């Protein structure tokens, strides 16, 4: 398996624009996590899915953020409208069912909002 695949790797956008980040989890994994990494806050859990269903979105910072998982092999994280403070590295991770399994991370998307 190629691992968790995220696209794009880098995104530069203007304030106010819509941004969509994409993730393809490892085949057979039941959980999908979206994290945001910044210097100030470290690695924050934004939302996670189990079998394509959102379980906990309490980490989503504002209504400007939304995430979907239409099928087991694809998820999106959308920011609309984007703001400079959204600049960060966004990671997608997936894991198998069961709490004693680790998460596998993608390479991340570095988002810069100017």
Please tell me what DSSP assigns to residue 111.
Answer: E
Closest separation in Å from C-beta 26 to another protein = 13
Interface with another protein, residue 7, by CB under 8 A: no
CA 17 to centroid of chain Cα atoms: 18
Residue 33, interface with another protein (CB under 8 A)?
A: yes
Regarding 52 and contact with another protein (CB under 8 A), the answer is no
Is the Cβ–Cβ distance between 67 and 75 less than 8 Å?
yes
Q: Which range in 11-19, 29-37, 64-72, 78-86 contacts another protein by CB under 8 A? A: 29-37
Position among 7, 20, 50, 52 found at the interface with another protein (CB under 8 A)? 50
Taking CB under 8 A as the rule, does residue 103 contact another protein? Answer: yes
């Amino acid at each position: 398996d190629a691992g968790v695949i995220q696209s794009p790797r880098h995104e530069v956008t203007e304030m106010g624009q819509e941004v969509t980040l994409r993730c393809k989890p490892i085949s057979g994994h039941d959980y999908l996590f979206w994290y945001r990494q910044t210097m100030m806050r470290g690695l924050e859990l934004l939302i996670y899915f189990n079998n394509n269903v959102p379980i906990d979105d309490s980490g989503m910072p504002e209504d400007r953020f939304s995430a979907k998982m239409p099928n087991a092999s694809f998820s999106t994280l959308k920011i609309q409208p984007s703001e400079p403070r959204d600049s960060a590295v966004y990671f997608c991770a997936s894991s198998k069912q069961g709490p004693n399994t680790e998460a596998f991370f993608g390479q991340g998307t570095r988002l810069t909002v100017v």
